[in-house]
Amino acid sequence: MTNEEARIGVYVCDCGFNIAGVVNVPQVVGYARGLKGVVICREYKYMCSSPGQESIQKDIQDLNLNRVVVASCSPHLHEATFRRAAEQAGMNPFLVHMVNIREHVSWVTKDKKEATEKAKSLIAAGVARVVRHSPLERRQVPVRSDVLIIGGGIAGIQAALTAADAGRHVYLVEREPSIGGHMAKFDKTFPTLDCAACILTPKMTAVKNHPDITLLSYSEVVAVDGYVGNFKVKVKRKPRYVDETKCVGCFECIEECVYKTAKFPSEFELGLGMRKPIYIPFPQAIPLVAVIDPETCIEFKTRQCKKTCVAACGDRGAIDFNQKEATVDLEVGAIIVSTGFHVFDAARMTNYGYGVLPGVYHALEVERLAASNGPTGGEIVLRDGRKPAAVGIVHCVGSRDEHYNPYCSKVCCMYSLKLAHLVKERTGAEVYNFYIDMRTPGKGYEEFYHRLLAENLHLVRGKVAEVTRIAEAAKEEGKLVIVAEDTLLGGIRRVPVDMVILSVAMEPQPDREEVRRMLNMSCSSEGFFLEKHPKLAPVSTMSDGIFIAGACQGPKDIPETVAQAGAAAAEAIALTSKGFITLEPNLAYIEEQLCSGCQVCIPLCPYDAIELDREKMVARISDVLCKGCGVCVAACPSGAAAQRMFEDDQIMLELAGVLSR
Amino acid sequence: MMQTEEFQPRIVAFVCNWCTYIAADAAGVARARYSPNVRLIRTMCSGRVDPQFVLGAFEKGADGVLLCGCHPRDCHYSVGNYKALRRYKLLKKMLSQMGFEDDRFRLEWISASEAEKFRKVVEDMTERVRRLGPFKPNGSSTPNGGK
Ligand SMILES: Cc1cc2nc3c(=O)[nH]c(=O)nc-3n(C[C@H](O)[C@H](O)[C@H](O)COP(=O)(O)OP(=O)(O)OC[C@H]3O[C@@H](n4cnc5c(N)ncnc54)[C@H](O)[C@@H]3O)c2cc1C
Ligand code: SF4
Ligand code: SF4
Ligand code: FES
């Protein structure tokens, strides 16, 4: 092919006004027509549309083209489109090259003349390079059908059920003793105010009962190796000191613990409720298996406890003080990451008094107070047991604030309204919501807002400056005073209340960096996992075979989380259903005649893909192990190591091209 | 005062497919404006960049070369960027012995989300190389207008 004369077609896209509004496309076309090997150059409004693709296909056939260059948007967007088009017209897809004149030229260059010149140089480079392309075959590798899901909140639960219903075997890894995530902590969910447990518990039970789901709770993924279709995963299982296969979740051990009352802060109750050293985080926990906390258990501290729990467990013999941390090795084809979010630490905004003033709560704590399975049995009361007569809810705490998070957490206005309703319903208190903008877009959401307005909620538009105990008037004595600017009335308002609820932001998980590195993903600037494309590939990541769902991708509510989880499951199912996948042919190879056997390349390969053929004394690269980074190629002193799609001469010609103008 | 036309340096940037190329795409999506002097060449990993590409760029008329990859520990191929860093240091030493000014060759780690950093690096690099003036192969480049 390389000896055959190049017959190149160049296609320059207007992308409506996106490109043509800045780049002088007719001039670029005229220029490209003069480049060596170019047989035809066309301009079209939308190259990626069907007529655009068809014009390329027609030219390939009618004009006998053997190379195609498309100058349009980023190859990350449409390379696959144009390769497929060429393939359908009988051309090897790797004889197509894309030149990015939208993201890298028209969208970033002010001056039209400069943009046009830059576009010309990039096209010159593409034309020069494509001449050296050769037809390549994609690799086919087998794909495992099992799916790993990391994080068992509503996102992970939904994705697990969908994938398992499609016949995949799912490993669901959750680091807490129970699945359920944040949703398990809520009493009601907006906008329907349906009981959270009533919709979540059946799904959690379905996870437990599904024959195709292996639930690994109280576990964490510690290493991921391999590549799309063939990931090797290490899961660390923390010891519960209770044998999961023997425990029946009867709670008898907990009753009989030598501690007669629960006196240790419960993690699940955010410290508002207490637990014993042996506990089940909440009555609907899945798996319904007790856990022993070695930090507080007397047996672990003194080895001299009466072990009344063991006696209570009796014949079942589930309690095992000698349980050790265990490692499980898994091999899966696809991974869904659904590690959720973390609530903003309200203590960071010292002017609101969280952690100092006992009457100041954050929203998740109040969710627990409102929950019928919570520490107060659903009574919304202060720490001293009093019912509040007036409650202030502060929106946007840690959101839309350049000192903390510039973004909107999307759910806070809605959950603030929900909490306002619950507070009114349970206590009859006067409720004041302090908001900056009321954001209620979503199906049935604006209606929910109007419903709350009818409940005689006091709405104050303005940012809260501080929450203080310092009274300036008799009616403020013994109260918490919320000081805010009322931007509708104009002027400062002081509202005395008994309870303050801070509507905290949804933030990325504190361990996102470790998770991201382990899975080779990227984070957006806020720290949420980055999708491959915000519109067209919202649950995919730049790492093939790794998908994201739920709040780990960005703040979102339950309906959106569930929809995304379904989408991620569908992607994982699609990936693992054919039994094999095709991979890009950008692998390294060795030209044996040139290889001196110096072995410089061998230790450089991150995947141990290179070995020495001792008979011929040349290096050899395994197609299965090579991932195509090209590190060995750049290091080879003899020019023997080469990489398909990124050959030295292709890059050198591209260089000459970009420097030609 | 007569305004002589400003020198337009030509800069080649070798960028990694997984981070800086995406950051450049994101800069486009954000409509971040930057000078058109930097031209991108994509490789799968910064570790693919052979010193001969850098030398080749100068030989073919580049006034500056930028090498961009994923942040340390973030390389898609785990350690390709460390190999790039090692080569960069060696090459840098060699170039300086050959009389190249420091600003002509630069390494930057730019992740996929750092569109703004990409823009800043491009602007800064362009400005610095502009101040150095055109690259002359024998190491004696002429500063721009003596300012
Ligand atoms: C106060 C408050 C009230 C809300 N009220 C509502 C409402 O009424 N209606 C509504 O639609 N939305 C509401 N939301 C939003 C809702 O909480 C989220 O949409 C939803 O919880 C997102 O689910 P998720 O599964 O993505 O994340 P999460 O619920 O955060 O679940 C993530 C799970 O992953 C686990 N995990 C994390 N990291 C790891 C790891 N490395 N390894 C293993 N497991 C891990 C966690 O332990 C957790 O179980 C509210 C949010 C807040 C803060
Ligand atoms: S570095 Fe090059 S010459 Fe040396 S063994 Fe590897 S391929 Fe052969
Ligand atoms: S290209 Fe990368 S993965 Fe492939 S053999 Fe060379 S160093 Fe190893
Ligand atoms: S993949 Fe980006 S530097 Fe290696």
Whether residue B22 is contained in a domain is answered as yes
Would the CB atoms of B47 and A634 count as touching at under 8 Å? yes
Would the CB atoms of A103 and B25 count as touching at under 8 Å? yes
The Cβ-side half-sphere exposure at A570, using a 13 Å CA radius, reads: 9
Give contacts of B18 with chain A, Cβ < 8 Å.
522, 542
Q: How far apart are the first and last CA of chain B?
A: 14
Alpha-carbon distance A624 to nearest alpha carbon in chain B (angstroms):
15
Q: How far apart are CA B67 and CA B54, in angstroms?
A: 9
- Distances in Å between the alpha carbon of A41 and those of A28, A52, A66? 9, 13, 14
Atom of ligand 3 nearest to the CA of A630: 1
Residue of A111, A530, A631 lying closest to B83 (CB–CB): A631
Q: Whose CA is nearest to atom 3 of ligand 1?
A: A415
The CATH number for B92's domain is 3.40.50
Ligand located closest to A514 CA: 1
Whether residue B109 is contained in a domain is answered as yes
Question: Rounded to two decimals, what is the model's pTM?
Answer: 0.86
- Provide the token pair at A57: 């296909």
Q: How far apart are CA A333 and CA A572, in angstroms?
A: 8
Q: How far is the CA of B106 from the centre of ligand 3 (A)?
A: 25
- Distances in Å between the alpha carbon of A557 and those of A340, A549, A592? 11, 12, 58
Q: Are B41 and B112 in contact (CB under 8 A)?
A: no
Indicate the pLDDT class of residue A352, thresholds 50, 70 and 90: very high
Q: Whose CA is nearest to atom 8 of ligand 3?
A: A605
Q: Are A445 and A418 in contact (CB under 8 A)?
A: no
Q: How far apart are CA A573 and CA A332, in angstroms?
A: 12
What residue of B is the nearest CA neighbor of A530? Answer: B113
Interface of A with B in 218-237 (CB under 8 A): none
Residue of B36, B47, B61 lying closest to A629 (CB–CB): B47
Chain region(s) in chain A for CATH 3.40.50? 8-136
Q: How far apart are CA B140 and CA B127, in angstroms?
A: 19
pLDDT in tens, A153-164: 999 999 999 999
Q: How far is the CA of B25 from the centre of ligand 4 (A)?
A: 16
Chain A contact present for B78, CB below 8 A: yes
Residue of B41, B78, B119 lying closest to A655 (CB–CB): B41
Give contacts of B43 with chain A, Cβ < 8 Å.
630, 646, 651
Alpha-carbon distance B145 to nearest alpha carbon in chain A (angstroms):
22
Ligand located closest to A635 CA: 2
Pocket of ligand 4 (CB under 6 A): B 16, 18-19, 45-47, 69-70, 75-77, 80-81
By most ligand atoms within 8 Å of CB, the mutation choice from A267, A423, A557 for ligand 1 is A557
Q: With respect to CATH, is domain A137-238+325-340+509-577 assigned 3.40.50.300?
A: no
pLDDT in tens, A427-436: 999 999 999 9
pLDDT in tens, B129-147: 999 999 987 644 444 433 3
DSSP tag of A615? T
DSSP tag of A346? G
CATH number for the segment(s) A345-507: 3.50.50.60
- Cβ neighbours of residue A379 closer than 8 Å, sequence gap 6 or more: A369, A387, A426
Q: How far apart are CA B82 and CA B59, in angstroms?
A: 26
Q: How far apart are CA A68 and CA A6, in angstroms?
A: 10
3-state secondary structure chain B: CCCCCCCCCCEEEEEECCCHHHHHHHHHHCCCCCCCCEEEEEECCHHHCCHHHHHHHHHCCCCEEEEEECCCCCCCCCCHHHHHHHHHHHHHHHHHHCCCCHHHEEEEECCCCCHHHHHHHHHHHHHHHHHHCCCCCCCCCCCCCCC
- Distances in Å between the alpha carbon of A390 and those of A413, A431, A451, A469? 19, 6, 20, 15
- Provide the token pair at A193: 């105010």
- Residue A536 pLDDT > 90, yes or no? no
Of the candidates A276, A280, A282, the one whose C-alpha atom is nearest the C-alpha of residue A308 is A276
Mean pLDDT over the full length of chain B:
90
Interface of B with A in 100-139 (CB under 8 A): 111-114, 119
Q: Are A340 and A550 in contact (CB under 8 A)?
A: yes
Give contacts of B57 with chain A, Cβ < 8 Å.
655, 659
Position A647 scores a pLDDT of 97
- What proportion of chain A, given as a percentage, has pLDDT over 70? 100
Q: How far apart are the first and last CA of chain A?
A: 29
pLDDT in tens, A357-372: 999 999 999 999 999 9
Of the candidates A661, A644, A546, A524, the one whose C-alpha atom is nearest the C-alpha of residue B43 is A644
Chain B contact present for A606, CB below 8 A: yes
Position A3 scores a pLDDT of 57
Indicate the pLDDT class of residue B4, thresholds 50, 70 and 90: low
Whether residue B147 is contained in a domain is answered as no
Would the CB atoms of B36 and A118 count as touching at under 8 Å? yes
Whether residue B146 is contained in a domain is answered as no
- The CATH number fitting domain A584-644, selected from 3.40.50.10260, 3.30.70.20, 3.90.1150.10, 3.10.20.30: 3.30.70.20
Position B73 scores a pLDDT of 85
DSSP tag of A6? P
Domain that holds residue B89: 11-132
Q: Are A53 and A83 in contact (CB under 8 A)?
A: no
Would the CB atoms of B22 and A659 count as touching at under 8 Å? no
The Cβ-side half-sphere exposure at A7, using a 13 Å CA radius, reads: 11
Chain B contact present for A630, CB below 8 A: yes
Report how far Cα A394 is from the mean position of its chain's Cα atoms.
28
| Torsion of Cα atoms, A122 then A123 then A128 then A130, to 10° | 110
Domains contained in chain B, number: 1
Whether residue B143 is contained in a domain is answered as no
- Provide the token pair at A213: 């789901």
Would the CB atoms of A109 and B87 count as touching at under 8 Å? no
Give contacts of B90 with chain A, Cβ < 8 Å.
none
- Residue A477 pLDDT > 90, yes or no? yes
| SS3 (DSSP) at A523 | strand
Mean pLDDT over the full length of chain A:
96
Q: With respect to CATH, is domain A8-136 assigned 3.40.50?
A: yes
Would the CB atoms of B48 and A108 count as touching at under 8 Å? no
Q: How many other CB atoms are found less than 10 A from the CB of residue A372?
A: 12
Ligand located closest to B79 CA: 4
By most ligand atoms within 8 Å of CB, the mutation choice from A139, A607, A608 for ligand 3 is A607
Chain A contact present for B5, CB below 8 A: no
- Residue A1 pLDDT > 60, yes or no? no
Chain region(s) in chain A for CATH 3.50.50.60? 137-238+325-340+509-577, 345-507
Alpha-carbon distance B39 to nearest alpha carbon in chain A (angstroms):
6
pLDDT in tens, B42-95: 999 999 999 999 999 999 999 999 999 999 988 999 899 999 999 999 999 999
Average pLDDT over residues A43-47: 97
Q: How many other CB atoms are found less than 10 A from the CB of residue A51?
A: 10
